[in-house]
Amino acid sequence: MTSPQASCLRAALQVGYHLLDRGSSSPIAVEHTIRVLERSGLFNAGKGSLLQLDGVQRMDASIMEGDHLSAGAVASIEGIIHPITAARLVMEETDHVLLVGPLATKFAEYFKMERHRLRTLPRRLSYGTMLKRKRFLRDRHGTVGAVALDQTGTVSAGASTGGIDRMLPGRVGDTPIIGCGVYADNQTGAVSMTGWGESIIRLAVAKEICDHLAQGTTPATAARLVLQKLVARIKGSAGCLVLTPDGRFTIRHSTPHMMAGWWNGKGEPTAGDRLQ
């Protein structure tokens, strides 16, 4: 039986591919693919984002295109259905790369972005109590992301997340940090990450995968080498989407499962939780 997540992923892939097929740019395709996932409430992004330990839903997102190396990101944004669009607006409407917190939310409100009622469960917990709970809870995580190649040969990558389960208020992971959660360069490729953000940040994983691609390594080998290093050096865990400007790609993960998919416009989109 097909899971709701797999069905939603296939729908998102169709949206992104049809945009590319009609000549849209890869950043637009990445953004609109991720928007489908954010709106669904089925993933840890947008409507479905997890709550932080103080009971507030805060979200992160980023996007990057490989032609001019333009990038935009938001962190700890609240009440916005599509953080990925806020990230794209940062990239296109400002000279900045990253906006954070309440002023990132205010930025999104200025552009009249669609809002939703915050998922909140106010908790009167002391900071010491939150630290103790954080220490003994097992984290769950799951970022949504996409990579795309358009008709001009430009690659792009994006990601959006609600973070990890029961995180400290204000915690920010790898997703909005360019070079860690996402990276895109027409000379190498595009990478979008998911997983334990703290470990991904410490190795700047997305950029390291692209550095391997620059040396002529295949996408599958580049992803495997960097994920192996992540596990060996810091016991990290992650999954990645990797796409090169000549259309080669790989989906790999060091976690037991990773819901992912791809489509080249032929047949039906492929989606599953074990594709490597």
pLDDT per residue as tens, the chain (276 positions):
578 999 999 999 999 999 999 999 999 999 999 999 999 999 999 999 988 888 889 999 999 999 999 999 999 999 999 999 999 999 999 999 999 999 999 999 999 999 987 655 666 666 676 565 654 444 444 689 999 999 999 999 999 999 987 788 999 999 999 999 999 999 999 999 999 999 999 999 999 999 999 999 999 999 999 999 999 999 999 999 999 999 999 999 998 778 999 999 999 999 987 666
143 labelled catalytic: yes
Taking only the tens place, the pLDDT of each residue in 224-269 is 999 999 999 999 999 999 999 999 999 999 987 789 999 999 999 9
Contact 182, 157 (CB under 8 A): yes
pLDDT at 123: 61
Q: Could you tell me which residues come within 8 angstroms of residue 173 by beta carbon, excluding any fewer than 6 positions away?
A: 60, 141, 143, 161, 163, 164, 181, 197, 198, 200, 201
pLDDT at 272: 82
Taking only the tens place, the pLDDT of each residue in 151-179 is 999 999 999 999 987 788 999 999 999 99
Cα separation, 33 vs 102, in Å, equals: 26
Say which of 33, 85, 105, 143 is annotated catalytic.
143
pLDDT at 140: 47
Distance of CA 200 to the CA centre of its chain: 12
Cα separation, 167 vs 126, in Å, equals: 14
Contact 61, 175 (CB under 8 A): yes
Token pair belonging to 111 = 């552009």
The verdict on domain 4-118+127-256 having CATH code 3.40.640.10 is no
pLDDT at 136: 42
pLDDT at 127: 63
Domain boundaries, given as residue ranges, for the chain = 4-118+127-256
Farthest CA pair distance, the chain = 54
